[in-house]
Amino acid sequence: MIFIIPNFAKIFEELNLELPLPTKMLITFSTILKTQWMFIPAVPFGAFVLYKILGKIKKTRLIIDKTKFKLPIFGAIINKSTVSRFSRTLATLTTSGVPILDALTNLKDATGNAAMAQAIQNIYDSIRGGESITKPLRASKICDEMVVNMVEVGEETGELDKMLTKVADNYDDEVDRAVEAMVSLIEPLMIVFLGGSVGFIVIAMFVPLIKLMQGIGGGD
């Protein structure tokens, strides 16, 4: 990309060829790679540093973590993994005899997602005020209605820990299936991407040469 294409570009310039748009785009991209290569690793590094800095600010971290749940494809996996971890840990703690308020406090401090931590705090405040778990859980919009209904049934029947375990099991299965489906798609997508990239480069480089040859043949 940074060695061969500039040679073609030099040939095209010497021949004073009128280049099609794909060829111009490819030459421009190659020039940027060759002259500005030092910025290529700087961009993801800078994005990572910015992410870490913003993650330390409470308000921006909450926005970032809420946004994670809305990401295409990955958002559902992150959401279900977070809810599964919350449900299983809460079920384990309450089954072990830990009071639910203490369990929620531990969960809030241990969760890696600010949006989930906020939901846990709301659940804590609700229970402490004599209300149910389901109202703040539904208001958080982190859990879907099926999960909220299962928690509500568990709360009413006194089998909250069992329902939470079922929620965790169901979500773990769904996450596993989603990850397997994504992995199975990676190879064909990579083949399509690489094939398309190579095809674009070949066409962009050889179309001007073909036109030149046709022009020479027509001139004869």
Residue 141 lies in a domain: yes
Number of domains in the chain: 1
- Average pLDDT of the segment spanning 148-159: 88
Full domain range(s) for residue 142: 55-173
Among residues 13, 17, 22, 27, which one has the least CA distance to residue 216? 17
pLDDT confidence band for 81 (50 / 70 / 90): very high
- Average pLDDT of the segment spanning 19-30: 84
Range in 7-11, 88-92, 171-175, 180-184 with the lowest mean pLDDT: 7-11
Residue 134 lies in a domain: yes
- Average pLDDT of the segment spanning 125-151: 86
- pLDDT at 1 (0 to 100): 60
- Cα separations in angstroms, 190 against 44, 60, 185: 21, 34, 9
b/e for 147-167, b at 16 or more Cβ within 10 A? bbebbbebbeeeebbebbbbb
* Mean model confidence pLDDT for the chain: 85
What tokens does 42 get?
A: 């700087």
Q: Taking 70 as the threshold, does the pLDDT of residue 177 lie above it? A: yes
The DSSP 8-state label assigned to residue 36 in this structure reads: S
Residue 209 lies in a domain: no
Residue 196 lies in a domain: no
Residue 113 lies in a domain: yes
pLDDT tens digit sequence for 185-196: 888 999 999 999
Q: Is 70 helix (H, G, I), strand (E, B) or coil?
A: coil
Among residues 130, 107, 127, which one has the least CA distance to residue 118? 107
Range in 52-56, 79-83, 113-117, 176-180 with the lowest mean pLDDT: 52-56
pTM here? 0.72
Among residues 111, 105, 96, which one has the least CA distance to residue 123? 105
Residue 48 lies in a domain: no
* Residue 66 to residue 64: CA distance in whole angstroms: 5
Which has the higher per-residue pLDDT, 200 or 3?
200
Q: Taking 90 as the threshold, does the pLDDT of residue 173 lie above it? A: yes
Range in 1-5, 23-27, 89-93, 169-173 with the lowest mean pLDDT: 1-5
Q: For residue 83, how many other CB atoms are within 10 A of its CB?
A: 24
- pLDDT at 205 (0 to 100): 82
Residue 125 lies in a domain: yes
Tokens 């005899």 belong to residue = 97
Q: Taking 80 as the threshold, does the pLDDT of residue 203 lie above it? A: yes
Contact 2, 34 (CB under 8 A): yes
What's the CATH number where 169 sits? 1.20.81.30
* Residue 18 to residue 211: CA distance in whole angstroms: 10
pLDDT confidence band for 53 (50 / 70 / 90): confident
- pLDDT at 82 (0 to 100): 92
- Average pLDDT of the segment spanning 73-92: 91
- Average pLDDT of the segment spanning 43-55: 84
Residue 201 lies in a domain: no
